Structure 1
């Protein structure tokens, strides 16, 4: 590490952190905690693997819980995109069961290999952390590249055998809900999800400039984006209302309802340029016209 641990004797986590605080006062609180965590484990593979898996589970289910509460409250039904299709508790439990099975049998082995992959591609786990400015522009690049990967891989999954054998699993729910974001065939989790992990790793391979903290922030944002886009709700304050190029739940909900079109993950430009959102806009126009007619009568 740039901040050396040679002067740190050891002991419990709190004792190690206090020693680091004395030896490296130039580090901020979070950098000291990070350094103490790796020193405490003294095994980077276990430390990174455990932190990555716990972070994924806490972020994913933590983001799903608010949407589960919203689904249970009739007040929010006015913003439900498909108000007649509210997931039952049985559906949510069945979805959770398969998602957890997938997390432990498909994602956990990959996550456990994450530290060796970090070392292979040159991902930094040292302190100090990169600047907020660097983190921000790297995240912007990752969003653009992942969205491109997702559009084309997702579109491929809607052809022939790819859809019948792989992607059809994810389309079990024609009215998606937050928990269903990672309800998918194992091959889809690996291949379609590769954009989230492979894009930053390839960036690191060619630039030799990426920190694990940036990777974690990126994964957090992608998890939130995936869960939110499957939420089934379009609020007046949703991000796509503030930033029209953002896809959001309105965009992806149509994809599940129609079983085609709107293939992008975060943005709308690929669908717009290649006209794979034409039916969506026609549907939206008909819906607006119908609502106006109801109000007029």
Structure 2
């Protein structure tokens, strides 16, 4: 489908993406331009994506098959509901008191626009993948700094590492400064690359899912790191929470391999 674009001749856009974008835009431009949207979207998607793992943790108390998917042998039962509830209130409090006002200010500085056209399929893929690569790089550098500089670790990152055996919702159970910094890195990645809002929204969705999956505590049969080469996944990130000095990158393994900080997860046999 060809759609004229003023000043750029004709651009090719995908009918499916164009229809999706028009349905998103219809009567909602004020919502899309709201400075509160990034924080709200980040929190809601994080909580919703954690819901399947809450169900797995509940099933783990009665189902041996679910327990067999847990990464660390002898790590004990899945976290009880009270840990989930406590984590939920901590994350919500930090979003309301720090993340929401700060990202609202950042969103205002960005002066976002709502274009009429959706991206082409190729543009959509390239922008999402480029955002993942850029964020992975920025996160890796910031994460290494938080571990290598004692002041940063004690005052910013140590709180997140109280979860020696992480669970899904704990992906954002961090110091307010760390939680804000990571969301700003994600927003900045899309801003620097000039992403279409539809590409940016999908990037944030994938970013949230990968963070949740990395902290879930399960090595699931259909986890993304089993399907796509170059992804670390939950086993690699749990090794980071255990050893602290390895596997700093959030998604991919290339930076850790390049700098000698990659540690392949040890395959353990479960007693059950």
TM-score (normalizing by structure 1): 0.77
CA distance in 2 between partners of 1:111 and 1:35 (Å): 25
Q: Is the 8 A contact 2:127 2:193 kept in 1?
A: no
Please, which moves more after superposition, 80-89 or 252-261?
A: 80-89
**Aligned residue in 2 for 1:9:** none
Q: Which has the larger radius of gyration?
A: 1
Q: Quote the offset at 1:57 in angstroms.
A: 2.9
Q: Which runs of 4+ in 1 moved over 6 A?
A: none
Partner residue, 1:263: 248
Aligned residues of 2:71 and 2:219 also touching (Cα < 8 A): yes
Over residues 167-204 of structure 1, what are the superposed CA-to-partner deviations in whole Å (9 max), with x where a residue is unaligned?
00111110111100111112212334432111221222
Question: What's the CA shift for 1:117?
Answer: 3.0
Write the mapping of 1:208-227 to structure 2, written as runs, cut at 5 A: 210-227=195-212
**SS of 1:48's equivalent?**
coil
Question: Which whole-Å CA distance do the structure 2 matches of 1:215 and 1:273 have between them?
Answer: 28
Tell me which of 123, 128, 151 is aligned to 1:139: 128
In the alignment, structure 1 segments of 5+ residues that lack a partner are: 4-26, 205-209
Match status 1:87 vs 2:79:
yes
Q: For the Cα contact (< 8 Å) 2:21–2:118, is it kept in 1?
A: no
The Cα offsets for residues 58-101 of structure 1, whole Å up to 9 and x where unpaired, read as 21111011101101112311010125242122221211111000
Output the CA distance in 2 between the equivalents of 1:161 and 1:57. Answer: 28
2:191 matches 1:201:
yes
Tell me which residue corresponds to 1:112. Answer: 104
Does the CA-based 8 Å contact 2:33-2:113 persist in structure 1? no
| Greater Cα offset, 225-234 or 54-63 | 54-63
Q: Encode CA deviations 1:232-257: one digit per residue, 9 max, x unaligned.
A: 11122211112231111111011112
Matched, 1:237 2:185: no
State how far apart, in whole Å, the 1-side matches of 2:47 and 2:243 are.
27
Structure 2 residue aligned with 1:28, among 11, 15, 19? 19
- Once the two structures are TM-superposed, the CA of residue 50 in structure 1 deviates from its matched residue by 4.4
Q: Which ranges in structure 2 are unaligned for 5 or more consecutive residues? A: 6-17
1:77 matched to 2:85: no
Highest RCO, 1 vs 2 (Cα 8 Å, sep ≥ 6): 2
After TM superposition, list the pairs within 5 Å mapping 1:147-186 onto structure 2: 147-159=136-148, 160-186=150-176
Q: Do 1:181 and 1:227's aligned partners in 2 also have CA atoms closer than 8 Å?
A: yes
User: Per-residue CA shift, 1:90-124, capped at 9, x if unaligned?
Assistant: 221211111000111111113323542332xxx44
Note closer, same or farther for the CA distance 1:91–1:60 as it changes in structure 2 (3 Å cut): same
Higher helix share: 1
Mapped to 1, the partners of 2:99 and 2:181 lie a distance apart of 12
Equivalent-residue separation in structure 2 for 1:106 and 1:30 (angstroms): 31
TM-score by length of 2: 0.83
Say which SS state the counterpart of residue 67 (structure 1) adopts. Answer: helix
Shift of 1:260: 2.5
Partner residue of 1:6? none
CA distance in 1, matches of 2:144, 2:57: 29
Q: Who is 1:59 aligned against?
A: 45
Q: 1:131 to 1:110 in 2, by over 3 A?
A: farther
Provide the aligned length of Structure 1 versus Structure 2. Answer: 250
